[in-house]
Amino acid sequence: MSTLDTTRAELALVVLYLNKAEARDKICRAIQYGSKFLSNGEPGTAQNVDKSTSLARKVFRLFKFVNDLHALISPTPQGTPLPLVLLGKSKNALLSTFLFLDQIVWLGRTGIYKNKERAELIGRISLFCWMGSSVCTTLVEVGELGRLSASMKKLEKDLKNTDKYQNEQYRAKLKKSNERTLALIKASVDIVVAVGLLQLAPKKVTPRVTGAFGFVSSLISCYQLLPSPPKSKSA
């Protein structure tokens, strides 16, 4: 491929990435929590960016609760242990509730919904739902990683006399394991972010700590949404 073709292909991937509403939301999230880290809860430009970006992100999430509502009523893959099924459905229910209540919070912030005290209470309830969904996600990923590890060890025994990295099934399981490990890290980080936003441990999880963890979580989300590069054609 020529340099121009390579550049065109790379720009096409960037366009594909930015066309995703979810990707734009996560970029805004990185800006939001980066600003929170810089402001450390003090008034100023950084805090204004934090607040305005937070409000703008709520528009991206309008009606997004339907996604997890659909996942909640969808069947789970066969062979999934019941505890993991229950944890997964709990995650979907809590995340869907968070996203639904977040719309009421947006209505309150824009002045459409006039009861400010009720809107603040709904906001806290929604954050507890998000924290609960992050806890459920963490437990699901731990359980799924355990299942993957067991199946990979079994496959390694079957491939004892061959190069396991040349086996397509093993590489697929390894890729899945890496993806789930990253999802586990993100969910664990999000728990800390939720604790900070709810001010459950204000002395330890300060606005700066919340901002730092939120920024890291956002970068992980941005990475997870990256499109796969096109496979080069053999000559």
pLDDT value, residue 93: 96
Task: Give the pLDDT confidence score for residue 234 in this predicted structure.
Answer: 40
Helix, strand, coil shares, percent, the chain, to 5: 80, 0, 20
Residue 233: the pLDDT is 45
φ, ψ of residue 28 to 5 degrees: the values are: -65, -35
Following DSSP, what letter does each residue of 34-102 receive, concatenated? HHHHHHTT-SSHHHHHHHHHHHHHHHHTTTTHHHHHHHHHSPPPTT--HHHHHHHHHHHHHHHHHHHHH
- Tell me, what amino acid is at 194? A
Q: Strand (E) positions, the chain?
A: none
Provide the residue type at 160 as one letter: K
How many other C-beta atoms can be found within 10 angstroms of the C-beta atom of residue 226? 11
The pLDDT, as a whole number, for residue 160 is: 82
Identity at 9, one-letter amino acid code: A
CA quadruple 156, 157, 163, 166: dihedral positive or negative? negative
Residue 54 has which token pair? 């937070």
pLDDT tens-place values along the chain, 235 residues long? 578 878 888 888 888 887 888 888 999 999 999 999 999 989 999 999 999 999 988 888 888 899 999 999 999 888 899 999 999 999 999 999 999 999 999 999 888 988 989 999 999 999 999 999 999 999 999 999 999 999 999 988 888 878 888 889 989 999 999 999 999 999 999 999 999 999 999 999 999 999 999 999 999 999 999 877 655 444 3
CB 61 within 8 A of CB 37: no
The pLDDT of residue 146 = 95
DSSP code of residue 166: G
